[in-house]
Amino acid sequence: MVHDIVAPTVGESISEVRVSSWNYANGDYVTEGETLAEIESDKATVEVVAEHSGSLNIIVADGEMVPVGEKIATLDDSAEKPAGGAAPKAATSSSTTSSSTPTPTNMPPSPSASKMLKENNVSSSSVAGTGKRGQVTKTDVLDHLKKPKTIGRAADADIKPKDPEGVRRVPMSLLRLKIAERLKDAQNTAAILTTFNEVDLTNVMALRKEYKDKFKAKHDVGLGFMSFFTRAVTLALKEFEAVNASIDGTDILYNDHIHMGVAVGTDRGLVVPVLRNVENMTFLEIEKGILSMALKARDGKLGISDMSGGTFTISNGGVYGSMLSTPILNPPQSAILGMHNIMERPVNVNGKVEIRPMMYLAVSYDHRIIDGKGAVSFLIAIKNRLENPEELGLDFKKDL
C-alpha cells in the first residue's frame, strides 16, 4: 500500500511551509519512526516522521515551498527492506544537496512548479531543474521567468547571471526572513530610542556565590544571573506599566500579566521563547523555565506557542562578549532590555576608588508610548534592585 506524506500544520496562521531538507534520497527504504525531513516555517522547524516502513518517493524537493496539507512524498510499504538497510542521505555521497547544474530526470515538476508553468505557458523542458534528481522546482520557474527574453541565444545557462568566483549563494531560511521582516518593521514603525545605565553586581555575585552550589544540589538546576535580572525587570514593569504595554492603532493595550521573552541565539537565527506570568514565578521556576526553553531552542523544538504573546524581552549580548549595544524592539512590544558583559572596573564608592564588577544596561523603547522620564526611571528601578538584591524577594534562601 502507498501512504501519502503531507506537509504538516505548524500553526493556525501558517498556510505555506518549506521542505528544508530530506534525510533520505528518493527510492531509499526507511523504517517506521525515522525522521524523513525537516519542514520549516517562518516561526519554527518541525520534523516529519515516517509512520510506516517502506520505499520513499520524494515529490517535493529540498528548498521547495508547498501549501500545508499538500502531498510531499509517498511511502510504499510493499517494498522489501534491502540487506543492510538504507543510510540517511547525509551519510551517502549520492545524496548531496542540489547543485546549480541541472541533472537529467524523469521526475515531473513539483506541484507548485507545475501550476506556475501552466499559468505562464512555459514548457518544463525549457526550465533547468535544480531539485532532487533534476526536478523542476518553483524557484527554478521563478528564475526562468526573470531571465531576459533573447533571440538567437544559446542555452539558458549561457544567459544566467553567475556569481563571482568564491561566492556561495544560499537561500535565507524562512526564520531568518521573518526575523529580518520583523526587525525592519520595528524600525519603520516605532520611534525607537535607547537609554543607558550601569549596574554594580557586587551584591548579586556574592549572593550567587553563597547559594549556587546548594541551589544546584537541591534542585538540579543552576542559579544564574538571568533569574535575578528577570525578577528585577518584573518588579520594575509592575511599577511602570507603559513599558509592558503596546500600541494598537490609536489605542494603548495595557497588560495585567508579564510574559517575559528571553532572546536565545541558535544556528538557525535568533528566537525569543516566552516565560508566561513571570510575576507569579519563583527563582526556581524562572531558572527551570529558562533552561527548558534554551534546550528546546538548541534542538529546534520550539513551537509557535513557545514564542507567542510576549510583552517584554530581555536580550543578553554579554554572553558573546558585547560591552554595549542598542537592542531593537520585538514587535508589538514597546521596550527591550539589553544586558552586556560583566567587567571589573574602577568606580567611585563613597569617595574611594574600588574595583567592582560592572555591567552596562540598555533599554530601547518606543517613544510614542514611553516618555524619556519613564524609560530612565524604569532602568534605574532595575539597577537599584540589582544593587540591593534583598529587594528582589529571594525566595530560594528559605529552602536552602
Return the DSSP state at 250: T
Q: Which of 4, 77, 213, 371 is catalytic?
A: 371
Residue 70, class by beta-carbon neighbours within 10 Å (0-12 exposed, 13-18 middle, 19+ buried)?
Answer: middle
Mapped onto helix, strand or coil, the DSSP state of residue 76 is strand
DSSP category for residue 333: B
Known catalytic residue at 156: no
Contact criterion met (CB below 8 Å) for 364 and 326: yes
- The helix/strand/coil state of 305 is helix
Q: Can the peptide bond before residue 332 be classed as cis, meaning omega within 30 degrees of 0?
A: yes
Report how far apart, in Å, the C-alpha atoms of 210 and of each of 125, 156, 207, 333, 397 are: 72, 70, 5, 36, 10
Q: Say whether 182 sits in a helix, a strand or coil.
A: helix
Q: Is the distance from CB of 244 to CB of 308 less than 8 angstroms?
A: no
Q: Is residue 78 exposed (0-12), middle (13-18) or buried (19+ Cβ within 10 Å)? A: exposed
Among 4, 185, 213, 367, the one annotated catalytic:
367
d(CA 340, CA 363): 12
Rounded Cα distance between 171 and 162, Å, is 15
Whole-number Å distance between alpha carbons of 349 and 20: 55
Has 248 been annotated as catalytic? no
Question: Pairing between strand 343-349 and 312-316?
Answer: unpaired
- CA distance to 211, 215, 308, 317, per residue, from 342 (Å): 20, 22, 30, 11
Q: Are 201 and 226 within 8 A, CB to CB? A: no
Phi, psi of 244, rounded to the nearest 5 degrees = -100, 10
Counting DSSP H helices and E strands in the chain, the numbers are 8, 19
Name residue 355's beta-bridge partners: 346
Q: Which three cell numbers stand for residue 37?
A: 525531513
Rg (CA), the chain: 27
Known catalytic residues are 367, 371
